[in-house]
Amino acid sequence: MVSGPSLDEQAYVREGATQTAVKILVVGHFAVGKTTFIGAISEIEPLTTEETMTRAAESVDDLKGVQGKTTTTVAMDFGRLTISDRVVLYLFGTPGQQRFVQMWEDMARGALGALVLVDPERLADSFAVIDLIEQYGLDYAIAVNHFDGAPLRDEMALRDALDLLEDTPVVTCDARDERSSADALITLVRHLQDRAH
């Protein structure tokens, strides 16, 4: 006998209500604003793994240009953003410090793409990040986190400096702002959809 859906299935799975879960990595060098970004847009209480930075790590953690930062991500950030009635993004923020970089590979597994946060004042710090994401074979978009007072570099210069492909999207955002951060993710998802066709 072929049985029909259980009571639970009838109650929770409405016809046409199927959603696609998409895993997205939010990456970037130390202190570029990854935790801030996921905190600003997650519709669930984000999971964070912040630890206080210690004097002992002062020489290792390059805090140049990042005033007021007292904690750092030691494992990952996790958040969720529903961008349409069909697509839900599960956001995984990587730890930014070099000594945790071996975790990235595991986190990259199953991801559809990556949003690479970039600080225009510390562009060179993004080279290694982009290299890694390319090594993992992930498509990505660049989100320039526009820290207050940082001059907005022109896009061509930034593309040149980061040696980007012509179709790699570049957007600016303020990681503290929900709307601009969501727009950056939507740009990435559109890019991933284009690449899939």
Ligand X SMILES: Nc1nc2c(ncn2[C@@H]2O[C@H](COP(=O)(O)OP(=O)(O)OP(=O)(O)O)[C@@H](O)[C@H]2O)c(=O)[nH]1
126's contact among ligand X, Mg ion, none, with CB below 5 to 8 A by partner kind, is none
Q: Which contacts qualify for 51-58: CB closer than 8 Å, 24 or more apart?
A: none
Cβ closest to ligand X, residue 96 vs residue 113: 96
Residue 82 CB contacts under 8 Å (≥ 6 apart), including other chains: 19, 43, 88, 89
| String of contacts with Mg ion for each residue 64-83, x by CB under 5 A | ---------x----------
Alpha helices (runs of H) in the chain, residue ranges in sequence order: 7-12, 34-41, 103-108, 127-135, 155-162, 178-196
Q: Is 182 exposed, middle or buried (0-12, 13-18, 19+ CB in 10 A)?
A: middle
- Compute the residue count for the chain: 197
Asked if residue 34 binds Mg ion (CB under 5 A), the reply is: yes
Report which residue type is found at 116. Answer: V
- Residue from the set 24, 33, 35, 164 that interacts with Mg ion by CB under 5 A: 35
Q: Which stretch binds ligand X (CB under 6 A): 15-23, 67-75, 108-116, 131-139?
A: 67-75
From the list 33, 30, 26, the residue with the least C-alpha distance to 177 is 33
Asked if residue 95 binds ligand X (CB under 6 A), the reply is: yes
- Residue from the set 106, 148, 154, 167 that interacts with ligand X by CB under 6 A: 148
Number of residues that bind ligand X (CB under 6 A): 23
Cβ closest to ligand X, residue 97 vs residue 187: 97
Asked if residue 122 binds Mg ion (CB under 5 A), the reply is: no
Asked if residue 111 binds ligand X (CB under 6 A), the reply is: no
Cβ closest to ligand X, residue 5 vs residue 65: 65
Compute the distance between CA of residue 2 and CA of residue 91 in angstroms, rounded to an integer. 38
Q: Which residues bind ligand X (CB under 6 A)?
A: 28, 30-36, 66, 68-69, 72-73, 95-97, 145-148, 174-176
